[in-house]
């Protein structure tokens, strides 16, 4: 079986789907791997490193013409046209908003697996791309926020006097939120966190942060997969009211709340932002799905009475080396799940992992 790794061509995408270490492990498992020349350079992985791992180097056509193509972002129309009928694709596909791309893959006869659809079960944890890339986003969000602030994060005792530590609040305590809490704590801030899920409250406390509005935490607020359930308009209003007074005293707020397949819950209104001190910063990690803040604009920074609301997109790609390393391990584990002892692919749609991730090729053998 031939595995292809093409260069990512989406704007600002610097990651690569497989790093040399993962390529080496697949080759040891009996696969052949072709990497497009330069595919890993922007993430810090050289062509020489891929060759040392046992891969062959080729052009885009060679990588896209493989039996199994491993990508980060969904393929363009031109890339789909270069893929071979009966081949397979593993990548992020954004299935809820990519009907045209998925239809094109289906028409091309490509069996595609959406990495976003890895089920939240124990044996699939090492395949969970959303969690690994959220780790990067949560860490980077604190760095972006702190660099935009007008204050230090830690307490400082100097000859010029003592500087009080900044106050940081993180909304949403999933992987990104917990990483943001841990990072802000490491940098010396006084940190608080909020999440409607009962399990998240204990995780917030375990990192040394305080929990905001514990009265709103509900035992039935999460799905069987561990994600937060979509809240009613009344519940969202109650959350906004509970957070309003607390956020008024924050120097940095990081929002990470998301509901899979749905628009991001609205947690912070423009009226609440106007109660915050000028110079305060909000980093809204939910910008790409509508934002947790009313004025958030994806990819832009909005100013509301001196408070900056930053809406970053694809943060994981801004730290492409480690983000690629984690993503690659996720993809490697999934591909190993599909590989037989003979080095061929076994696409068992009855399998709870494989079946959940297939978005095309439903009628393929």
Is 120 assigned a catalytic role?
A: yes
Handedness of CA 152, 157, 160, 165 (dihedral sign): positive
129-148 and 320-338 helices cross at what angle (nearest 10)? 170
Assess whether 203 carries a catalytic annotation.
Answer: no
Instruction: Respond yes or no: is residue 123 known to be catalytic.
Output: no
Q: At what angle do helices 175-186 and 129-148 cross, to 10 degrees?
A: 40
Q: Which one from 125, 274, 305, 348 is the annotated catalytic residue?
A: 125
The separation between the first and the last C-alpha atoms of the chain, rounded to the nearest angstrom, is 17
Catalytic annotation, pick one of 37, 120, 185, 186: 120
Other Cβ atoms closer than 10 A to 38: 13
One of 32, 131, 221, 222 is an active-site residue; which one? 131
Q: How far apart are CA 293 and CA 285, in angstroms?
A: 10
Residue found under tokens 């009928």? 85
Question: Of residues 82, 106, 128, 284, which has the active-site annotation?
Answer: 128
Buried b vs exposed e over 229-261: b needs ≥16 C-beta within 10 Å? eebeeebeeebbebbeebbeebbbbbbbbbbee
Rounded Cα gap, residues 34 and 104, in angstroms: 24
Dihedral of the CA atoms 117, 128, 218, 254 (nearest 10)?
-110
Helix (H) or strand (E) holding 89: strand 88-91
User: Of 37, 126, 221, 227, which residue is the catalytic one?
Assistant: 227
Confirm if 187 and 207 have CB atoms less than 8 A apart: no
Active site residue 125: yes
Report whether 240 contacts 272 (CB < 8 A): yes
d(CA 138, CA 152): 19
Ramachandran quadrant class, 121 (left: phi over 0; alpha: psi -120 to 50; beta: rest) = beta
Look up 227 and say whether it is catalytic: yes
Q: Which residues are catalytic?
A: 120, 125, 128, 131, 227
């Amino acid at each position: 079986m031939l595995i292809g790794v093409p260069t990512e061509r989406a704007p600002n995408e610097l990651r690569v789907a497989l790093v040399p270490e993962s390529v080496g492990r697949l080759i040891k498992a009996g696969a052949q791997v072709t990497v497009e020349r330069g595919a890993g350079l922007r993430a810090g992985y050289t062509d020489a490193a891929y060759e040392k791992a046992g891969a062959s180097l080729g052009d885009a056509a060679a990588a896209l013409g493989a039996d199994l193509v491993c990508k980060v972002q969904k393929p363009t129309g031109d890339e789909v046209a270069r893929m071979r009928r009966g081949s397979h694709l593993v990548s992020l596909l954004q299935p809820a908003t990519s009907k045209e791309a998925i239809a094109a893959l289906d028409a091309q006869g490509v069996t595609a697996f959406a990495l976003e659809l890895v089920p939240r079960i124990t044996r699939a944890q090492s395949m969970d791309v959303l969690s690994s890339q959220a780790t990067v986003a949560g860490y980077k969000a604190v760095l972006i926020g702190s660099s935009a602030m007008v204050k230090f994060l830690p307490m400082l005792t100097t000859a010029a006097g003592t500087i009080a530590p900044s106050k940081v609040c993180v909304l949403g305590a999933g992987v990104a939120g917990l990483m943001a809490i841990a990072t802000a704590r490491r940098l010396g801030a006084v940190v608080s966190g909020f999440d409607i899920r009962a399990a998240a409250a204990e995780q917030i406390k375990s990192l040394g942060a305080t929990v905001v509005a514990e009265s709103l935490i509900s035992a039935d607020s999460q799905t069987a997969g561990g994600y937060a359930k979509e809240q009613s308009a009344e519940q969202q209003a109650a959350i906004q009211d509970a957070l309003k007074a607390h956020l008024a005293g924050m120097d940095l707020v990081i929002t990470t709340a998301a509901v899979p397949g749905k628009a991001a819950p609205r947690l912070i209104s423009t009226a609440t932002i106007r109660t915050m001190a000028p110079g305060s910063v909000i980093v809204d990690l939910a910008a790409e799905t509508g934002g947790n803040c009313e004025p958030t604009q994806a990819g832009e920074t909005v100013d509301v009475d001196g408070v900056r609301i930053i809406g970053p997109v694809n943060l994981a790609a801004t730290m492409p080396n480690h983000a690629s390393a984690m993503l690659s391990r996720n993809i490697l584990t999934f591909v190993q799940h599909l590989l037989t002892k003979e080095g061929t692919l076994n696409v068992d749609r009855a399998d709870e992992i494989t079946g959940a991730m297939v978005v095309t090729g439903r009628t393929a053998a």
